[in-house]
Structure 1
Amino acid sequence: MEATKGRSPGPGAAAWPEATIQRGPVRFTVLTPRLIRLEWSADGQFRDIRTQVVVHRALDVPPFHIDEDEATLQVDTGLLRLRYTKGSGRFSAENLQILVRGPGREATWHPGDTQAQNLGGTFRTLDRYDGDTWQDGSKLPLEEGLIARDGWHVVDDTASFGIDDEGWVAERPEGERQDWYFMGYGHDFRAALADFAAIAGPQPIPPRFVFGYWWSRYWNYSDEELRTLGARFEKERIPLDVLVLDMDWHTTPGLSLRPGHEEKDVFGEQSGWTGYTFNRSLFPDPKAFMRWAHGEHLRITLNLHPASGVMPHEEKYEAMASALSWDTSTQAPIPFEGASQPYMRALFDTVLHPLEQEGVDFWWLDWQQWKESKAFPGLSNTWWLNHVFFTEMQRGGEQRGLIYHRWGGLGNHRYPIGFSGDSVISWTSLAYQPHFTAMASNVLYGYWSHDIGGHTFHKHIPRPERHLDPELYARWMQLGVFSPVLRTHSAKEASLHKEPWHFGPPYGDAVFAAIRLRYQLAPYIYGAARDAYDSGMSLVRPMYYHWPEHEEAYAHPAQYMFGNDVLVAPVTAPVGADGTAPFPVWLPPGLWYSRDGAEAFEGGGMLERSYTLEEIPIFVRPGSVVPLYPEGMRNLASVPSTLILQVFPGEDGSTALYDDDGATQGYQDGEFARTCVRSRRGDRAHRVHIDAMEGQYKGRPTTRRYVVELLDAGIPESVEVNGEALPYSAEPQPRTWLFDTASLSIRIDLGPRLVDRAQDIVARFAPEHAMPRGLLHRMRRAGEAVFYLKQVWGDISALPDDVDLASQAARVLAYAVEQGDDEGRAQRFTDAVAEFEARFKGLPASVNATPIDDAFKQTFADLLGR
């Protein structure tokens, strides 16, 4: 709004005066067409500072109309119409109503109305929960979300503490007050979340390394053991970014003393959890250990339980006491108070920052602090410590804030990452976590980190019988790939091994594949993190954000959207006797492709399929351009110079590749770059246009090697880049193209290109060489079915030749493509495809004509038809 340019709206987080309508003790602030702040104050005083929930109100003032007479005030934004009876005092059902004209739902709200269909938020922890059920049978007490099918929601900010200009807690105003934020959006859930993010702050982008693999185990690891562990990751070529040290990193002398002589904190509680001093029997030289970790490109986070304060045995006790003028003559513990600015300043300056200077990258704030501040009753210590630790890290320099802690309530989305606690190891827990993670986006909490594989066993399971089901773990790791954070963790039990090499085939293979896929998807995930910052739409979000008018979008909470283009339904049930797990998936209207582009599915109903351990139900929108890193990455400390652009079939598609330095807060001030990529496919040509990179940031590359993969494309007559024909090559090499018969994709390697210049890629086709839909799927079914026969039938020589040839279709096609002159390549491929299709069609009859057992024949047919 032009009138607001160059002016300050007022103190703290005040809105623009043009947005406010004040009539005596009542003030209404029009923040967006869907969002109005409602305030009543008995003394006519209103607060404009930041609160725990709301940190920004100076939004561009939307158009609205005021209509009032002596009795009534009406405010109309076009989407909302507010009506208040003037001079009637405190808001009530009798004097205030708001009409919501949002899409999909028109409703009228009055104070006191109860939401019938709130879509849920999140909860601070999954400790000891088996799915959503605690050990005593009670259900997880989920908090409300910001969105509901009712079409409206009210955020009550009356009791929130204020946050002053120094970022410190301020007392709540005295006197009778009401401070509400009414959100009316119909079923435009995405708009509601964007509006809330506008006033409550965006979801920060975590450092890039956060999206790699985290290794964590509750175990008293020594320096040498962790170095050995790191060497094994290196040997197995498993990428790793974060090393998590649980509480055994520090001394706990209170636990080592005999009963009755334990060290106690100032409140008389046994101090077995709090600690700030490295255990030198495990880490003789902590600084050298962390120097080694950083040399391996590993980030270090240490576990903290701060409630017992600083005990007299701590190395930094004297320094902390000196900073607080604390009398050390009695050797009394220095009591914890997270809302005490002097205490926290001294804790950071004398205890924590020195550890950071030695190599600690961020802190894991675990449990055990008091539920509420003793200095500010009603102030959640969880919420407050999240705020203090995160903002302290940002205040310390250019680096992005990062903590690892439980959910503390609305506004805590500003302080990622979440730690969901010690969930029970079970299929039930696995099945619940997709829903729990997606639902948290309803309060903008988009970065839950779960204990992949679960934390602890059911308490009723005898210790000798406790073991981790390898299939359950493999499936949980597959969920971890499509989660905000991929972090394994477990309780301190010798039987709980989650090292990937601990599991033999096929489970270990599935775990390895999951980790590799996670790193390949890193640029897609990082781009989605930027989208979350810009739009309020979390990486993992429910189906109903995109299809709010479809009942099925609410009825299948275990599937979700992963970014804008990928639909994921992680398998959360064990396989049956046939080696597959039936897992129905609701596909929204429209066409969807499998992850490799091999299959196309018409949406608008249920897809009834079964999946082997190696398979994950992943579906991609037509025309999507999914950026990938090449295989072989070891960590996310640096960005590869090669970027793969996987282009899915579809008439039109686009994406915007996102880049920044991955570490600093500069992205908030415009230090980032985007590269738009557009795809258009017709009968005779498929064009992919890569724009020049727009934007600047520290470390921006001058060149990038793009590899464009056109999935399920068929073989082209020619490939051009910027109008020049590229030569065909049977092996991957820069500035050539090849046809990969194993994936039926065209792989176009542009070689290093200047990022400041656009690139135009065109693959040209002859209609007579069009590839039949579903060919790759049939090729793979044939291979799996014949492989099965070779495992269960001894006399494989009894099979007709066509059966073996059908099982190696990709190799047969490769010979057709690679042998002979270039001009006949497309025709040779077309002929070879026709021969395979004839073989595939005849496979059931060929096998039925052999003396193989009927049961084997039936399984063979089932595998072909999957």
Structure 2
Amino acid sequence: MVDSTLFSLATLNAHPAMNPDSVIQGDHWRIGLITDALVRFEWSDSGRFVDDATQMAMVRDFGEKPEFTVTERNGWLEIDTPSLHISYNQRKFSPEGLYATVKHVNAIENTWHYGDVQRRNLGGTYRTLDEANGRIPVDPGVNSTDGWAIIDDSKSNVIRETAEVNGNHNDFGTWATPKEEPTTDLYLFGYGHRYREAVHALYRLTGPTPLLPRFVLGNWWSRYHRYTETEYRQLVERFEKEGIPFTTAVIDMDWHLVDDVDPKYGSGWTGYTWNKDFFPDPKRFLNWLHEHGMKATLNVHPRDGVRAFEELYPQVAKAMNIDPESGEAVQFDLTDPKFMEVYFDQLHHPMEEDGVDFWWIDWQQGGLTRQPGLDPLWGLNHLHYLDSARNDGSDYSERNPRPLTFSRYAGPGSHRYPIGFSGDTVVTWESLKFQPEFTACASNIGYGWWSHDIGGHMFGYRDEELEVRWYQLGAFSPINRLHSTDSPFNGKEPWNFHGDAERAMTSALRLRHAMIPYLYTMNRRAAFDNEPLVQPLYWDYPEIEAAYKLTDEFRFGTELLVAPIVDPAERSVQRAKADVWLPQGEWFDFFDGRHYTSRPAEGRRLEAWRDLDRMPVFAKPGAIVPLQMPAEGEALNSVANPRALQVVVFPGAENSFTLWEDDGAAQSKDRWASTEMALRFEGDSAQFSIAPAEGATDVIPASRDWTVTFRGIAPEAMHAVRATVDGSAAAPEVAYDAETLSLTVTLRDVPTSSAIAIDSADGLAVADDPVEADAFAVLKDAQMLYMTKEHAYRAIRELGKDALPALSTLEDLHGVGAQTKHQSHMPQPVIQALAEVLTRN
């Protein structure tokens, strides 16, 4: 049984009533100033308004009264705040009688009139990418270049604490019910170009993003395939043999009876009975996955209810007062608390006790239930999430203390029920190209934890380069879940691909697993600071036009900027490019430490050309990125707080980073350990420090191996570094890698209660990029005449580095080698790739 006390509005931190001191009201209208830029407009024919929580809105009193004035003049109300001026004629809402102007924003249409359809909204997200082949329209978010956006909550159900619904006992404590009567209920977000503030306000209104369990930040294996237990075990063992970590096993619908269903019962799309021909002992199989460090989720399509062929039909029918002998199907009815109680207690909980860790809710059948306005997808997400949060002392709740769902997006507020499944995309470059933009703009509606079908799901074509680029995007996506159809030609296992493609795919998957410490810190930031992992660039640079142009590019946490490659390589240069905008300042290639300078205030556009082995990822100056490393005795798929850490540090500016770790058991701030890392400069010297862990230090290892990699550093730094532990000199292992411009300092078995300091007498001087070597690498791979290559390389060497930028102009390089009949102009992609090398600084 569900513990209803878990799901009270108080437990959900709901405060749905507005602050009465911030409300202006007439007989049929009400205006609530939640903040000086977030305003609620209500109209009720009866004069009765909604003070309950709704499917979207949980908190309408933010605990402070915003600054505002109200003036009545000739029947009009003039409401003025630091952010808005609102005019209202106190009649039924109309475009002429209700409008608001956003202050402090230079926009053509910064005035909202009631009923306006916005043309410059920056986008939110969409329910599903099912069968999408490239760009599709998305629903609006709370940000726009006009400075305002509207969320219409008029048709939302209200959520109330109630012990009984429609005469049925309700074990869930709260229930979504229709409003007694129609009302207009609008929320105006008038934050101008303060995009981050607008999203923060949305989170305060709708509720925060919950913490995710650590394992979901690793790699997920998923495939629409009729696996048997033996085949799945062989797959996992092959991944282990190849050294490819996976933390989540997604088992699609064929875990249950599908083809053996008598047509008189309908299709086998819905099912709750294990196919024992495939999985003779489900509990054994699930326990085996756990022993190999993987959590398990099963796909469920609940639409067709429980039919007479199911193993559990007799007891379910009896519980629903249906004669089991009749064979009458138990209808799926999300609006019936009794059915939902049986649905969870008798269908799902037993399988969870056997080892299922969470559910993939694959609802695809529209938005109608027996209750007006209640979307079945939203209801399933809400109730599954609440059910997964139960703390009933069961093996399931001990094994999975942090609630989790995996389902499609169901409208504003859906971030409360992560994780999102974006649907079955087509395997094409067009699909890949849309996913970075789709992920980033979802943050404009607070939806941060999208899981895409990495590699594409269906149709399309085989293109090994496309698959590699998709894997690389997956490594820098909120959730990295590989998925595909059952086609024997569409398996996503890296060993199904050739040579360089296989190596690049494997590298991307290993990198993703290594990033779990960084990602988990960003998970905490998303939950406690309302900052999604992936963010559009215009959040930080709203007045720079270029920040809106390159929709493929995004922030990835606090330290990194990602520009995925979403177009195929140019044959002539054997590389692919990403169009990049670098904000003003210094930037470093995350992988090889090359240094980029963006001097203009409006930033800098460039083309970043990369071989198949990686994509452009840039670290800000001073960036600190913690990664986990394999440690002796640690399982390949381990998501425990790591015994060995590599911290990648970039020069150029002072910075600090706090690594957050916990025991994974609660949605609170009480059981966290923090380890602060900082890069500081004083005079000509620099120091990188790792402070003793603080807080709940029992949740982390007592000692650690630390590998600090200073990337983009001159080789001379190798002889200028000294390390201390608790003030005493240490004897670290020190090495330098010229290929990645990386100085590595390793200290082993250091107590986590100790302070580490690594001092550099030369201030961690930024390395000179190996321009000649990088130019040679471009020319070496270029598919062109040898004589033209030689003349180009000679020109680069003879002009010297100070003169090299001039050589990168189109005219200069076009002219190289035009002197004899044995030479020809250089291909344009080769020119562009060289231009990047020659003009980085």
Cα offset for 1:198?
0.5
Cα offset for 1:780?
5.3
The one-character-per-residue Cα deviations of 1:368-422 (angstroms, maximum 9, x if unpaired) are: 445311x203311111111111111013457222121111111111111111211
- 8 Å contact 2:723–2:730 — kept in the other structure? no
Matching of residues 427-442 of structure 1 within 5 Å:
427-442=429-444
The one-character-per-residue Cα deviations of 1:473-500 (angstroms, maximum 9, x if unpaired) are: 1111011111111111111212112111
Paired residue for 2:660?
Answer: 658
Cα distance 1:422–1:67, how it changes in 2: closer, same or farther (>3 A)? Answer: closer
Cα offset for 1:727?
5.9
Structure 2: segments with no counterpart, 5+ residues:
1-9, 162-171, 392-396, 805-812
Cα distance 1:376–1:752, how it changes in 2: closer, same or farther (>3 A)? Answer: same
Cα offset for 1:168?
4.0
Cα offset for 1:102?
4.3
- Secondary structure of the residue that 1:273 maps to in structure 2? coil
Opposite residue 400 of structure 1, the aligned amino acid is: R
Matching of residues 290-439 of structure 1 within 5 Å:
290-373=286-369, 375-396=370-391, 397=397, 399-439=401-441
CA distance in 2, matches of 1:718, 1:333: 73
1:452 aligns with 2:458: no
Cα distance 1:80–1:587, how it changes in 2: closer, same or farther (>3 A)? Answer: same
- 8 Å contact 1:9–1:15 — kept in the other structure? no
Paired residue for 2:807?
Answer: none
Matching of residues 232-271 of structure 1 within 5 Å:
232-252=238-258, 257=262, 262-264=263-265, 270-271=266-267
- Of the candidates 106, 128, 133, which is equivalent to residue 130 of structure 1? 133
Cα offset for 1:736?
4.1
1:672 aligns with 2:672: yes
- Of the candidates 512, 522, 527, which is equivalent to residue 516 of structure 2? 522
CA distance in 1, matches of 2:341, 2:218: 32
Cα offset for 1:574?
1.5
Paired residue for 2:496?
Answer: 502
- 8 Å contact 1:683–1:765 — kept in the other structure? no
- 8 Å contact 1:623–1:679 — kept in the other structure? yes
CA distance in 1, matches of 2:672, 2:699: 10
- 8 Å contact 1:726–1:737 — kept in the other structure? no
1:79 aligns with 2:79: no
1:562 aligns with 2:556: yes
Cα offset for 1:17?
3.3
- Of the candidates 227, 232, 244, which is equivalent to residue 233 of structure 2? 227
Paired residue for 1:470?
Answer: 464
CA distance in 2, matches of 1:698, 1:160: 45
Cα distance 1:282–1:174, how it changes in 2: closer, same or farther (>3 A)? Answer: same
1:60 aligns with 2:57: no
Paired residue for 2:271?
Answer: 275
The one-character-per-residue Cα deviations of 1:318-357 (angstroms, maximum 9, x if unpaired) are: 1212222222121111111122111111011011100000
CA distance in 2, matches of 1:387, 1:10: 15
- Secondary structure of the residue that 1:164 maps to in structure 2? strand
The one-character-per-residue Cα deviations of 1:180-212 (angstroms, maximum 9, x if unpaired) are: 211111101000000000010112222111111
Cα offset for 1:772?
4.8
Paired residue for 1:108?
Answer: 111
Opposite residue 569 of structure 2, the aligned amino acid is: V
Paired residue for 2:757?
Answer: 760
CA distance in 1, matches of 2:12, 2:481: 44
Alignment size in residue pairs: 773
1:289 aligns with 2:285: yes
CA distance in 2, matches of 1:860, 1:190: 40
TM-score under structure 2 normalisation?
0.85
CA distance in 1, matches of 2:260, 2:12: 54
Paired residue for 2:537?
Answer: 543
Matching of residues 640-719 of structure 1 within 5 Å:
640-662=642-664, 664=665, 666-681=666-681, 684-696=684-696, 699-714=699-714, 715-716=716-717, 717-719=720-722
1:157 aligns with 2:153: yes
Q: Give the superposed CA RMSD.
A: 3.4
Cα offset for 1:864?
7.4
- Secondary structure of the residue that 1:395 maps to in structure 2? coil
1:621 aligns with 2:620: yes
Cα offset for 1:543?
1.5
Opposite residue 678 of structure 1, the aligned amino acid is: A
CA distance in 2, matches of 1:421, 1:207: 22
Cα distance 1:778–1:539, how it changes in 2: closer, same or farther (>3 A)? Answer: farther
The one-character-per-residue Cα deviations of 1:478-523 (angstroms, maximum 9, x if unpaired) are: 1111111111111121211211112121100110111111112222
- Secondary structure of the residue that 1:78 maps to in structure 2? coil
CA distance in 2, matches of 1:305, 1:9: 28
- Secondary structure of the residue that 1:194 maps to in structure 2? helix
Opposite residue 325 of structure 2, the aligned amino acid is: S
CA distance in 1, matches of 2:182, 2:434: 42
CA distance in 1, matches of 2:365, 2:832: 56
Cα distance 1:683–1:698, how it changes in 2: closer, same or farther (>3 A)? Answer: closer
- 8 Å contact 1:434–1:559 — kept in the other structure? yes
- 8 Å contact 2:308–2:328 — kept in the other structure? yes
Opposite residue 17 of structure 1, the aligned amino acid is: P
- Secondary structure of the residue that 1:28 maps to in structure 2? strand
Paired residue for 1:93?
Answer: 95
- Of the candidates 10, 33, 48, which is equivalent to residue 30 of structure 1? 33
- Greater CA drift, 777-786 or 281-290: 777-786
- Secondary structure of the residue that 2:454 maps to in structure 1? coil
Opposite residue 68 of structure 2, the aligned amino acid is: H
Paired residue for 1:267?
Answer: none
CA distance in 2, matches of 1:379, 1:766: 61
Opposite residue 671 of structure 2, the aligned amino acid is: E
Opposite residue 602 of structure 1, the aligned amino acid is: T
Cα distance 1:554–1:725, how it changes in 2: closer, same or farther (>3 A)? Answer: same
Cα offset for 1:608?
2.3
1:191 aligns with 2:197: yes
Opposite residue 324 of structure 1, the aligned amino acid is: M
CA distance in 1, matches of 2:297, 2:23: 45
The one-character-per-residue Cα deviations of 1:42-78 (angstroms, maximum 9, x if unpaired) are: 3222222211101122312134233345845444432
Cα distance 1:24–1:747, how it changes in 2: closer, same or farther (>3 A)? Answer: same
Cα offset for 1:469?
1.6
CA distance in 1, matches of 2:696, 2:23: 38
- 8 Å contact 1:11–1:48 — kept in the other structure? no
- Secondary structure of the residue that 2:234 maps to in structure 1? helix
CA distance in 2, matches of 1:761, 1:772: 18
Paired residue for 2:742?
Answer: 745
- Greater CA drift, 215-224 or 572-581: 572-581
Cα offset for 1:622?
0.9
Structure 1: segments with no counterpart, 5+ residues:
1-6, 133-139, 265-269, 459-466, 729-734, 794-798, 807-833, 838-843
Cα offset for 1:786?
6.5
CA distance in 1, matches of 2:150, 2:114: 9
CA distance in 2, matches of 1:12, 1:327: 44
Cα offset for 1:785?
6.0
CA distance in 2, matches of 1:207, 1:706: 25
Cα distance 1:102–1:164, how it changes in 2: closer, same or farther (>3 A)? Answer: farther
Opposite residue 210 of structure 2, the aligned amino acid is: P
The one-character-per-residue Cα deviations of 1:137-164 (angstroms, maximum 9, x if unpaired) are: xxx3421112111101121111100112
Cα distance 1:701–1:45, how it changes in 2: closer, same or farther (>3 A)? Answer: farther
- Secondary structure of the residue that 1:32 maps to in structure 2? coil
Paired residue for 2:576?
Answer: 581
The one-character-per-residue Cα deviations of 1:100-146 (angstroms, maximum 9, x if unpaired) are: 224555933331233220111221111111112xxxxxxx3421112
CA distance in 2, matches of 1:173, 1:856: 72
- 8 Å contact 1:727–1:737 — kept in the other structure? no
CA distance in 1, matches of 2:12, 2:689: 44
- 8 Å contact 2:646–2:708 — kept in the other structure? yes
CA distance in 2, matches of 1:252, 1:95: 58
